[in-house]
């Protein structure tokens, strides 16, 4: 870890949630490129809160602004945006799963190559990134970061192809895992999605200029038109021509396998107002609640969501069950990293700093508590206790996704397998006792599949990426198989 990054009050509780690695945004040919990129990153803030970066090109030189913290902490400042001139820009929100929390790892990463300058940003994770990194270093490469994005830059630099686009495609064909990636040169904006289509990426248009973003909500915030999803294994090269027009060349770099979007985009990560893979995230989450009510009914007086993730599912549960929906928990939206010294006494306040029980809706009632997922269960037990302390007669926890048994290697920061609640207890009853609820039920895998895709899981050819529930990983895990997934790279403590 960067030595300046110390434990904060919420770390203990953030460890009981899943974190997505990143969000990306890029635009080509627009005079307000950097401002629009900052707005797009603001809409994608939920995908990464540790750092944000933007790179632009003004026709003569590249400009880079990379900062720790939230988009709004830095990119609402007109002075900062004035340092990012030009009509080409890409940006990135970061939550680290590979590489420590340090400014040197904040994307986009930039390099000056034989073919000119290039900046790269990606969302997801390479399952052979450390293996390739070790090979590159053994061959004399010098790595300036611990981010696996830098591996792509080295592969582009070493490619024998002439054009930047061909070098980029050559590089990503050597990468395995789940990713969506943007690259920019002096004239090009390049978008790519992994062959399995695990991580999402969409194409939009504003004033005739192409845009790429992790989610459609980033298009909505700037009034851009959604064009289509970038297909799995597709590389789209947009280039400004000498006459000012923009050419668009779409190529297939993958092997033509079926798309398998990550189910957790629907369960947790994507914003509910986004459309992922042609499906409304909000509708999918509401369907999860409807199916949960069918699978795990209970006699109760009120349905209460764990905000904000559990809200659409709780609405679906209430609609299907006929039990009234109420906001029995109020979320404090202004709690973030705190400066309070995390003593044990203060740490005990953690959940209450983020969530407060609405006693008027809970006292004396049988409560159905609906959450989107349970990871370690430590937050669940505190929330259940908070509901009991507010006077609930009964607390029945309903989870709108299956039990999580397996870690992820495609960009989701999951605890070690033995720390997952589902692996710590051998029965649902034991889990329920640990959490302190009167009953505990999870949505079935088929219930989740029907909520998202409308049909049961095809065990022979699963329609989605679901390994965290099933253990069915959609790609090779080369780093893990070679026992380098957990191998430490050197850490450099920096102050800026």
pLDDT of residue 7: 27
End-to-end CA distance of the chain: 14
The C-alpha atoms of residue 20 and residue 40 are separated, in whole angstroms, by: 17
H/E element, 135: helix 129-138
Higher pLDDT, 359 or 256: 359
The mean-pLDDT minimum among 280-284, 402-406, 445-449, 491-495 falls in 491-495
Q: Say whether pLDDT at 151 is over 50.
A: yes
Closest CA to 232 of 259, 255, 211: 259
pLDDT of residue 414: 76
Q: Say whether pLDDT at 328 is over 80.
A: yes
The C-alpha atoms of residue 164 and residue 7 are separated, in whole angstroms, by: 42
pLDDT of residue 144: 81
The C-alpha atoms of residue 201 and residue 203 are separated, in whole angstroms, by: 7
Cβ neighbourhood burial of 147 (10 Å; 0-12, 13-18, 19+)? buried
Cβ neighbourhood burial of 60 (10 Å; 0-12, 13-18, 19+)? exposed
Q: What is the pLDDT averaged over residues 307-324?
A: 96
Contact 321, 293 (CB under 8 A): yes
Annotated active-site positions, please? 22
Say which residue the tokens 């006494």 belong to: 345
Give pLDDT tens digits for 351-366: 566 789 999 999 999 9
Higher pLDDT, 335 or 16: 16
Contact 179, 193 (CB under 8 A): yes
What is the DSSP-derived secondary structure letter of residue 79?
A: H
Q: Say whether pLDDT at 13 is over 60.
A: no
Give pLDDT tens digits for 180-206: 999 999 999 999 999 999 999 999 999
3-state secondary structure of 184: strand
pLDDT of residue 349: 57
The C-alpha atoms of residue 322 and residue 162 are separated, in whole angstroms, by: 64
Higher pLDDT, 19 or 102: 102
Percentage of the chain with pLDDT > 70?
87
- Mean pLDDT across the chain, nearest whole number? 88
DSSP string computed for 376-432 = SSHHHHHHHHHHHHTT-SEEEEEESS----S---SSEE---GGGSHHHH-SSHHHHH
Contacts for 122 with CB less than 8 Å, ≥ 6 apart: 22, 24, 92, 107, 149, 152, 179, 180, 181, 182
Higher pLDDT, 420 or 103: 420
Q: Say whether pLDDT at 50 is over 60.
A: yes
The C-alpha atoms of residue 209 and residue 245 are separated, in whole angstroms, by: 10
Give pLDDT tens digits for 92-145: 998 754 445 567 788 999 999 988 999 999 998 899 988 888 898 898 888 887
pLDDT of residue 345: 54
Q: What is the pLDDT averaged over residues 426-454?
A: 97
DSSP string computed for 334-376 = T--S--S---HHHHTTHHHHHEEE-HHHHTTSEEEEEES--SS
The C-alpha atoms of residue 474 and residue 472 are separated, in whole angstroms, by: 6
Contact 167, 156 (CB under 8 A): yes
The C-alpha atoms of residue 462 and residue 465 are separated, in whole angstroms, by: 7
Give pLDDT tens digits for 471-489: 999 998 888 776 544 444 4
pLDDT of residue 111: 93
Q: Which two tokens stand for residue 215?
A: 């989610």
Higher pLDDT, 139 or 405: 405
What is the DSSP-derived secondary structure letter of residue 490?
A: P
Give pLDDT tens digits for 366-385: 999 999 999 999 999 999 99
The C-alpha atoms of residue 157 and residue 239 are separated, in whole angstroms, by: 20
Q: Which two tokens stand for residue 55?
A: 């790179």
3-state secondary structure of 51: strand
3-state secondary structure of 164: helix
Number of other residues whose CB lies within 10 A of the CB of residue 278: 8
- Domains of the chain plus CATH, in order, are 23-260 (3.60.20.10), 280-331+344-470 (3.40.50.2020)
Cβ neighbourhood burial of 493 (10 Å; 0-12, 13-18, 19+)? exposed
Confidence grade of residue 2 (pLDDT, cut at 50, 70, 90): very low
Cβ neighbourhood burial of 211 (10 Å; 0-12, 13-18, 19+)? buried
Closest CA to 372 of 307, 453, 300: 307
Percentage of the chain with pLDDT > 90?
73
Q: Say whether pLDDT at 21 is over 80.
A: no
DSSP string computed for 255-300 = --PPP--BHHIIIIIS-TT-EETTEEHHHHHHHHHHHHHHHS----
Q: Which two tokens stand for residue 209?
A: 């200029």
pLDDT of residue 105: 80
């Amino acid at each position: 870890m960067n030595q300046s990054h110390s434990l904060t009050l919420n770390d203990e509780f953030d460890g009981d949630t899943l974190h997505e690695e990143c969000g990306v945004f890029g635009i080509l040919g627009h005079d307000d490129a950097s401002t629009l990129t900052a707005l797009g990153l603001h809409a994608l803030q939920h995908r990464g809160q540790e750092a944000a970066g933007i790179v632009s090109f003004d026709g003569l030189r590249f400009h880079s602004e990379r900062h720790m913290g939230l988009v709004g902490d830095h990119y609402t400042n007109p002075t900062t945006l004035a340092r990012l001139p030009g009509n080409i820009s890409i940006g990135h929100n970061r939550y680290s799963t590979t590489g420590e929390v340090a400014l040197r790892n904040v994307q986009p990463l930039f390099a000056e190559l034989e073919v000119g300058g290039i900046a790269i940003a990606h969302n997801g994770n390479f399952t052979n990134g450390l293996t390739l990194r070790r090979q590159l270093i053994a061959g004399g490469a010098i790595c300036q970061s611990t981010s696996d994005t830098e591996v792509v830059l080295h592969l582009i630099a070493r490619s024998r192809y002439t054009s930047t686009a061909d070098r980029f495609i050559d590089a990503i064909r050597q990468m395995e895992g789940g990713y969506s990636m943007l690259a920019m040169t002096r004239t090009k904006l390049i978008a790519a999605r992994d062959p399995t289509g695990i991580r999402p990426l969409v194409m939009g248009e504003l004033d005739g200029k192409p845009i790429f973003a992790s989610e459609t909500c980033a298009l909505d915030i700037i009034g851009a038109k959604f064009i289509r999803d970038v297909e799995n294994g597709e590389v789209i090269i947009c280039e400004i021509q000498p006459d000012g027009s923009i050419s668009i060349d779409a190529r297939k770099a993958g092997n033509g396998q079926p798309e398998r979007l990550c189910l957790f985009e629907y369960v947790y990560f994507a914003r509910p107002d986004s459309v992922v893979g042609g499906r409304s995230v909000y509708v999918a989450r509401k369907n999860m609640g409807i199916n949960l009510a069918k699978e795990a009914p209970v006699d109760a007086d009120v349905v209460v969501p764990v905000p904000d993730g559990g809200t659409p599912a709780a609405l679906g549960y209430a609609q299907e069950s006929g039990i009234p929906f109420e906001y029995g928990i109020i979320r404090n939206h202004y709690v973030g990293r705190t400066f309070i010294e995390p003593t044990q006494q203060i740490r005990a306040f953690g959940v209450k700093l983020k969530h407060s029980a609405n006693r008027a809706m809970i006292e004396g009632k049988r409560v159905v508590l609906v959450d989107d997922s349970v990871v370690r269960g430590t937050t669940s037990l505190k929330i259940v206790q908070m509901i009991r302390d507010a006077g609930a007669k009964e607390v029945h926890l309903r989870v709108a996704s299956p039990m999580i048994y397996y870690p992820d290697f495609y960009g989701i920061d999951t605890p070690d397998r033995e720390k997952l609640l589902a692996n710590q207890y051998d029965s649902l009853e034991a889990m329920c006792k640990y959490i302190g609820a009167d009953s505990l039920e999870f949505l079935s895998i088929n219930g989740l599949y029907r909520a998202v895709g409308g049909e049961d899981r095809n065990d022979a050819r699963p329609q989605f990426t679901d390994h965290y529930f099933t253990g069915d990983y959609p790609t090779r895990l080369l780093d893990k198989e070679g026992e380098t997934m957990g191998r430490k790279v050197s850490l450099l403590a920096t102050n800026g």
